[in-house]
Copies of this chain bind each other. A is one copy, B any other.
Amino acid sequence: MKTPPADSFSALLRERGLRATPRRLQLLSLLARAERPMSAHEIKAKWKRGRIDLVTLYRALDALVAATLARRVDLRHGHIDYEINRSGNHHHHLVCTGCGVIEEVTACPGKNLGELALARSAKFASLEEHALEFFGTCKACVA
């Protein structure tokens, strides 16, 4: 999982009409390195250079999500988690209801199923996104 250079992040931000500030670059870098979705509070705790206000963080995350550079995920942990949205890295999650451990699932019927659902739907004009998460028990929590 290699991390794109900071310049590439700058370009990504500017392409979407967002300013490439140090905080947003570090945020993208953090998200890109992360091995699992993180909450705003976790991101703040992991912040390296300088500090970031939680409000700024929430607003930056909102901007990234709106720009499709990040995704929101609900893992039933009582808060929103965020993860980077790389093209070609579509995936979902297995979540342990015991300890919260997370594993990625790469198989996904979402697109086809979405088209089917849309075709059968009376009310909807288009689908942009879907959420799919599995909840179960990990081997450590069974023992």
Q: How many copies does the complex hold?
A: 2
Contact across chains for A125 and B105 when beta carbons are under 8 A apart: no
Contact across chains for A136 and B127 when beta carbons are under 8 A apart: yes
Which residues of B lie under 8 Å from residue A132 when comparing CB positions? 130-132
Which residues of B lie under 8 Å from residue A120 when comparing CB positions? 105, 107
Contact across chains for A103 and B125 when beta carbons are under 8 A apart: no
A122 to B139, CA, bound (A): 9
25 contacts between A and B (CB under 8 A): A74-B74, A74-B131, A94-B117, A96-B123, A97-B128, A103-B121, A105-B120, A105-B121, A107-B116, A107-B117, A108-B113, A118-B136, A124-B137, A124-B138, A125-B136, A125-B137, A126-B137, A126-B142, A127-B134, A130-B133, A130-B134, A130-B135, A131-B131, A131-B133, A131-B135
